[in-house]
Amino acid sequence: MLQILGVGLPRTGTASLTNALKLLGYNAEHHAPHRLPLDGLHANSFKVFDDVDAVIDAPACHFFEEIGNVYSDLTYILTVRNEDAWWRSIKLHSDKIITGGASTHIDYTRRLHGLIFDYPVPQEYLYRRAFRRHNQAVRTAIPPHRLLEIDVTTGGGWLKLCEWLHKGVPEQPFPWENRTAS
């Protein structure tokens, strides 16, 4: 049964958070587009996470309120990142997909980005606005006692996460994924 919903937008450390949760013993899933297809969503679409403990990243992060209505005891984790670094990362990631991905991946990414960022391909003003708007909506809608806000890109990994989840800190380093060179 879903316990943790990662509500951070893509490129905010969501893959790292997913792997950290796995190391802590959670059955965590990253991205999960097969669970929430963007076509034909309806009220029952959001009860698809009974077999996982945690789901992180888009499209689930975009539907945090709907998923929270189905799984009422959720703990939420908002991964955040410096906005300038986030913009560079989302732009680079999107450009890689659009120039080198399979046509089905390109189409899905454009539809997902259109949903989340109001435009299917990176446009700096629109994407930055959506980034700020999403984070503020999460902070407004979720009570502070149910929301952990964490920046794993600045070293805020194990200690803060494990304290929040009441877990011991693993001896291994925090799992950095998809690290973009500055």
d(CA 139, CA 16): 21
Domain count of the fold of the chain: 1
Is 177 inside a domain boundary? no
Are 93 and 24 a contacting pair, CB within 8 Å? no
Tens-digit pLDDT profile for residues 70-110: 999 999 999 999 999 999 999 999 998 888 877 888 888 99
Is 181 inside a domain boundary? no
Confidence band, pLDDT 50/70/90 cuts, at residue 137: very high
pTM: 0.94
Is 170 inside a domain boundary? no
Is 150 inside a domain boundary? yes
- What range defines the domain where residue 91 resides? 4-165
Confidence band, pLDDT 50/70/90 cuts, at residue 178: low
Q: What is the DSSP letter of 166?
A: T
Tens-digit pLDDT profile for residues 39-69: 778 877 899 999 999 999 999 999 999 999 9
Is 45 inside a domain boundary? yes
CA-based nearest residue to 146, from 40, 83, 65, 35: 65
User: Tokens for 4?
Assistant: 């943790």
Give the count of beta carbons closer than 10 Å to the beta carbon of residue 99.
Answer: 8
d(CA 66, CA 59): 12
Is 174 inside a domain boundary? no
Helix (H) or strand (E) holding 155: none
Domain with residue 60: its CATH number is: 3.40.50.300
Torsion of CA 99, 6, 115, 131, to 10 degrees: -80
Are 76 and 27 a contacting pair, CB within 8 Å? no
Are 113 and 101 a contacting pair, CB within 8 Å? no
Max Cα-Cα span within the chain: 44
Q: Can you give the pLDDT at residue 182?
A: 39
Residue 182: partners with Cβ closer than 8 Å, 6 or more residues away: 85
Residue type, 145: H
Is 43 inside a domain boundary? yes
Is 178 inside a domain boundary? no
